[in-house]
């Protein structure tokens, strides 16, 4: 049973969730994408999340949206280059979720270290870990001859991205980990501070107001799969660039994993663009919506159950199914209208009326897949007429 599978996952220890589940039968519409992804094995979840920050476009978006402008203005993002995994000792790397990028700051090399924290608890010693990490990075570069005496050590900007449920309250600098010491010793103590992005504490309004890949990525994790259509269309528009093909596949893989963990699909499907992902969600959503609506209605019919009125439960199931199907039809028509407008310009009233006359979910999904390759509005009208006439003849 689909919901047995889902509720077992909800009851399990879920790392990095946005909301505690109040009851095992909480409406699925309230469950964010992050919740389903966090129910994956830690290794898969960490690898999938980390993959986003191997794309230079995501690093630039992250810096532009969350790092002080005074620093960002000094960076040449065209020089972004990711360092290979072997930049520090293998034994130490096993303990870290790290990504290191090199770029030019005022014409000189600078390094961005991104630490991804998936733990539910704060890491009090993060500043110490980063200090050790940076020292190992410098030492490795020195041994490889990449640091010269006249240039000195290259600057490093450490970023910690945390998506745990509880607010991050670990010290942001190494000095806060030291006990009070005599003034004469203070100047001899190590100094390091890292930049924290406490992802789940960024307000929804701030993320929604920014047309940026990093903000949209963080916001999408808070959306539920049934109501993410607008955000996916925004994502599709931003990624509509030849240089974003690999990043598009990463987003598609991430959403498809969420759909699989939610039980919407039986396998993790593969897509090359976000439009296909959105169509897949809309195509598979009716039965999924039907089940959670039917369960909700079932729970609300205590009197009917007590009296053994089976017909009351059947009416509830049927109402739930019809409500789910109609919602999906509306979503699909809105998506199609947007696609047609984007391809052919303002649509005529006639085309929109024809869309309203197509009721079959599979027909609407099939039309969505065809629109990108349709050459003209006349051809679109012809295809829609065929769909409508075929249904009338049945």
What is the pLDDT, as a whole number, of residue 296? 45
Most confident of 221-230, 247-256, 347-356, 367-376: 247-256
Minimum mean pLDDT range among 102-106, 128-132, 234-238, 337-341: 337-341
- Over residues 325-352, the mean pLDDT reads 74
List, for residues 185-244, the tens digit of each pLDDT value.
Answer: 888 888 999 999 998 889 988 888 888 899 999 988 887 766 677 888 888 888 888 889
* pTM (predicted TM-score): 0.67
What's the CA gap between 219 and 206, in Å, rounded? 9
What is the pLDDT, as a whole number, of residue 81? 92
Residue 302 has pLDDT above 70, yes or no: no
- Over residues 72-94, the mean pLDDT reads 75
What is the pLDDT, as a whole number, of residue 103? 93
What is the pLDDT, as a whole number, of residue 234? 86
- % pLDDT > 90, the chain: 18
Compute, in degrees rounded to 10, the torsion defined by CA atoms 126, 128, 132, 133: 20
Distances (CA, A) of 189 to 29, 130, 139, 181, 184: 52, 16, 20, 10, 10
What is the pLDDT, as a whole number, of residue 292? 47
Beta bridge partners of 104: 76, 109
- Over residues 258-286, the mean pLDDT reads 74
User: Residues, the chain, total?
Assistant: 394
pLDDT confidence band for 42 (50 / 70 / 90):
low
What is the pLDDT, as a whole number, of residue 270? 79
- Over residues 139-144, the mean pLDDT reads 88
Distances (CA, A) of 222 to 37, 85, 249, 327: 11, 31, 20, 21
What's the CA gap between 207 and 231, in Å, rounded? 11
Does residue 116 contact residue 49 with C-beta atoms inside 8 Å? yes
What is the pLDDT, as a whole number, of residue 170? 93
Burial of 209 (0-12, 13-18, 19+ CB in 10 A): exposed
What is the pLDDT, as a whole number, of residue 27? 36
Minimum mean pLDDT range among 176-180, 252-256, 328-332: 328-332
- Over residues 45-58, the mean pLDDT reads 86
pLDDT confidence band for 176 (50 / 70 / 90):
very high
Average pLDDT over the chain reads 75
Residue 70 has pLDDT above 70, yes or no: yes
Question: Could you tell me which of 9, 1, 3, 4 has the C-alpha nearest to residue 36?
Answer: 9
pLDDT confidence band for 63 (50 / 70 / 90):
very high
What is the pLDDT, as a whole number, of residue 322? 67
What is the pLDDT, as a whole number, of residue 35? 53
Residue 37 has pLDDT above 90, yes or no: no
Most confident of 59-63, 141-145, 238-242: 59-63
List, for residues 240-266, the tens digit of each pLDDT value.
Answer: 888 898 999 898 888 888 777 766 677
Residue 76 has pLDDT above 90, yes or no: yes
Does residue 127 contact residue 171 with C-beta atoms inside 8 Å? yes
- Over residues 101-108, the mean pLDDT reads 90
What's the CA gap between 143 and 251, in Å, rounded? 38
Residue 23 has pLDDT above 50, yes or no: no
Give the strand pairing for 195-198 and 156-162. Answer: parallel
């Amino acid at each position: 049973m689909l919901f047995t599978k889902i509720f077992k996952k909800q009851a399990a220890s879920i790392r990095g969730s946005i909301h505690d589940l109040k009851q095992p039968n909480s409406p699925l519409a309230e469950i964010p994408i992050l919740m389903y992804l966090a129910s994956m094995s830690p290794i898969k979840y960490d690898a999938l999340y980390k993959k986003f920050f191997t794309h230079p476009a995501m690093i630039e978006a992250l810096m532009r949206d969350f790092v002080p402008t005074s620093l960002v203005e000094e960076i040449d993002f065209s020089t972004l280059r990711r360092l290979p995994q072997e930049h520090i000792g293998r034994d130490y790397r096993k303990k870290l979720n790290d990504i290191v990028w090199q770029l030019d700051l005022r014409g000189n090399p600078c390094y961005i270290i991104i630490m991804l924290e998936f733990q539910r608890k704060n890491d009090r010693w993060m500043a110490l870990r980063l200090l050790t990490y940076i020292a190992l990075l410098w030492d490795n570069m020195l041994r490889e001859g990449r640091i010269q005496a006249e240039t000195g050590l290259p600057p490093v900007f450490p970023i910690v991205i945390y998506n745990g449920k509880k607010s991050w309250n670990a010290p942001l600098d190494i000095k806060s980990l030291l006990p009070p010491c005599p003034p004469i010793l203070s100047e001899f103590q190590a100094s390091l501070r890292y930049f924290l992005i406490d992802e789940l504490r960024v307000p929804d309004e701030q993320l929604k107001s920014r047309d940026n890949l990093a903000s949209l990525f963080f916001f999408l994790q808070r959306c539920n799969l049934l109501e993410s259509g607008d955000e996916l269309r925004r994502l599709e528009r931003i990624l509509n660039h030849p240089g974003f093909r690999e990043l598009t596949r990463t987003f598609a893989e991430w959403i498809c994993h969420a759909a699989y963990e939610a039980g919407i699909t039986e396998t993790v499907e593969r897509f090359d663009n976000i439009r296909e992902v959105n169509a897949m969600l809309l195509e598979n959503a009716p039965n999924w919506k039907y089940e959670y609506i039917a369960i909700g209605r079932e729970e609300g019919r205590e009197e009917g159950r007590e009296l053994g009125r089976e017909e009351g439960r059947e009416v509830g199931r049927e109402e739930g199914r019809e409500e789910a199907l109609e919602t999906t039809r509306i979503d699909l028509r809105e998506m199609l209208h947007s696609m047609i407008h984007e391809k052919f310009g303002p649509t005529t009233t006639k085309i929109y009326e024809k869309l309203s006359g197509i009721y079959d979910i599979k027909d609407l999904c099939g039309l969505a897949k065809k629109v990108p390759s349709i050459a003209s509005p006349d051809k679109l009208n012809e295809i829609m007429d065929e769909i409508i006439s075929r249904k009338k003849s049945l």
